[in-house]
Amino acid sequence: LSEGKYLLVLQRAKMLIKCSKLAYLPLSPEELSKDNALVKEWKDKQDRCEGGSDLSSLQSSLVPTCLINAQLHLLARDTEGGNRTSLVSTGCHVVACIREAGNVDLHGTRVVVFRHESSGDLILSFRGTLTRKQVWTDLMMRKINVCLDDFLAHPHTKDGQTTSASHIEDMLTKGEITKVRLLDLLPKIGEELPIYLKDARKSGHNVSGIGQIHFGFWSSYNRVRRQIHNIVREELLARPGRLLLTGHSLGGCQATLCAYDMSRWVLPTVKRQMISLHAYNRAQLDSLQISCYTFGSPRVGGPSFAHAFKQVVPDSQRIVCDGDIITSGPPVYWGYHHVHHENIIDSTGTIRVEPSLIEKKFSLKKRNNPQSHFKETYLDVVKKSFSPHVSEEGLLGLLKKKYGLKEE
């Protein structure tokens, strides 16, 4: 990328890491009540505290929750009342907050849909690991076979299931059944197409065969897949624009799967509908592009999926904070591979694009630091890469210290 184009990448990254952080906010009355309970606990402890040091220590850990509480109410109001209040820090307004269908919360998947007001970009931000259910999702590391053409599950064997996954999900949502295997909820090749794909059109990418994908990531994404298809198609028809997928940690993995899905099924469908309705011009059609920006994403699947993803989603930026332990897994020797366009940013804001093995070995940290994975750390290094908050002399000193050089 040229310097000018990469500045655009950094500008988007700066906006999208903020959107990724906002996805961690409560998106339901239950989550909001838990957050309010935490705020009340902080206030109670604040009243009991004596002495400045204890209060300062307490504030440093709990005050941020209080400070973002106003934004939580904005998000809740946007989903319930239809108001589209702008979030000043991102320049976006909230279009929708998505959770698993029928409030049957198997994985805890959450997505916030934003619209960037000046550019018209539609942004889907997936929440990372926050709850116990999402931890279990991360640990479902066995891989599932997925058809890369239709992007539907391809189980190893026939398991005797005669009811389609869509029908089983409808029964679960309506409360007609209470127990179900996660595998039974996954749309599969050979059965009736899900309703959101019946009138859809596939892209012309030449992808075929079977790819292996982390079962937890695949299952959790499919729990919100129908809603995402419906909302994205409706929004892009109403106001065509670029589709941006983003997420931190687990959310980055789900954003990766969604980017493939949207490029394969949704964008071609929207273009066909615009043409059939004669409600388009060439500029609007050309604006229907897709980009994927992830932060601290683990490996999503095997080499076949990574290769197909590179073809289907060429504009992908996988941003890694130097030393992030989560990005080192699941391990390569289990058959997992990262998707393309790695951007490693160190604590000084220095960026290495697609670094070689030698660079990773000798000039970058070992990926064993949990703190490097925090979303606040990502926000900090992305800001530094865009506009460093240190002088040239200070930056030179940090670089010398990092590489073990003596100060003159």
Single-letter code of the amino acid located at 402: K
Cβ proximity of 293 and 13 under 8 Å: yes
- Given a cut of 90, whether residue 257 has pLDDT beyond it is yes
- The confidence band for 402, taking pLDDT boundaries of 50, 70 and 90, is low
Give percent of the chain with pLDDT exceeding 70: 76
| Residue 228: predicted pLDDT | 97
Separation between Cα atoms, residue 70 and residue 15, nearest integer Å:
20
SS3 378: helix
Higher pLDDT, 246 or 165: 246
User: Going by C-beta distance under 8 Å and a sequence separation of 6 or more, which residues neighbour residue 273?
Assistant: 233, 237
pLDDT of residue 54: 40
Share of the chain above pLDDT 90, in %: 56
Cα 321 to its chain centre, rounded Å, is: 16
pLDDT value at position 398?
A: 59
Could you read off the pLDDT of 47-92 as tens digits, one per residue? 655 444 343 333 333 334 444 444 444 454 444 444 455 665 678 8
pLDDT in tens, 382-400: 988 876 555 566 656 655 6
| SS3 label, residue 306 | helix
Residue pLDDT, tens place only, 166-222: 888 888 888 888 888 899 999 999 888 899 999 999 999 999 999 999 999 999 999
Secondary structure (DSSP) of 83-150 = ---EETTTTEEEEEEEESGGG--SS--EEEEEEETTT--EEEEE--S-SHHHHHHHH--SEEEEETTT
Q: What is the pLDDT of residue 59?
A: 36
pLDDT tens for each residue of 83-116: 455 665 678 888 888 999 776 889 999 999 999 9
